[in-house]
């Protein structure tokens, strides 16, 4: 499902104009990005999913073409955890 299909589904089920459904999805994306960027808190939709910023330590890796070691600096990534309702939907 792509963004256009998601907006159409939200619009249909919530009985909203597509423009409003798209605005809601856009604002949700912005808020999720801000929460993850700050890293001080998690974004949780109970039973569905949790988004949180995690820290990755610096590490040594190997260049797959040459085999030479390379240093990868410390950084951040996003951890997405499925909630119980989402896990049950997969079963």
pLDDT value at 84 more than 90: yes
Length of the chain: 91
Q: At what angle do helices 3-14 and 18-38 cross, to 10 degrees?
A: 120
Q: Within this chain, do residues 29 and 73 fall inside the same structural domain, yes or no?
A: no
d(CA 58, CA 71): 7
Q: Within this chain, do residues 52 and 87 fall inside the same structural domain, yes or no?
A: yes
Contact (Cβ atoms closer than 8 angstroms) between residue 11 and residue 21: yes
The predicted structure's pLDDT at residue 10: 95
The predicted structure's pLDDT at residue 91: 87
Kindly report the CATH number assigned to the domain that includes residue 56: 4.10.520.10
Q: Give the up-direction half-sphere exposure of residue 37: CA atoms within 13 A in the CB hemisphere.
A: 6
How many domains does the chain divide into?
2
Per-residue pLDDT tens digits for 12-51: 999 999 999 999 999 999 999 999 999 888 999 999 999 9
Q: Show the domain range for 16.
A: 1-38
The predicted structure's pLDDT at residue 23: 96
| pTM of this structure | 0.74
Ranges of beta strands (E only) in 1-91 are 43-45, 49-56, 59-62, 69-72, 75-82
Q: Using the 8-state DSSP alphabet, how is residue 47 labeled?
A: T
């Amino acid at each position: 499902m792509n963004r256009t299909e998601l907006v159409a589904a939200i619009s249909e089920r919530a009985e909203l104009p597509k423009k409003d459904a798209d605005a809601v999805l856009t604002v949700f994306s912005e808020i999720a990005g801000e929460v993850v960027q700050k890293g001080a808190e998690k974004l949780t939709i109970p039973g569905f999913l949790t988004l949180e910023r995690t820290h990755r330590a610096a590490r040594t890796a190997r260049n797959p073409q040459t085999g030479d070691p390379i240093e990868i600096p410390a950084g951040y990534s996003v951890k997405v955890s499925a909630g119980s309702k989402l896990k049950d939907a997969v079963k």
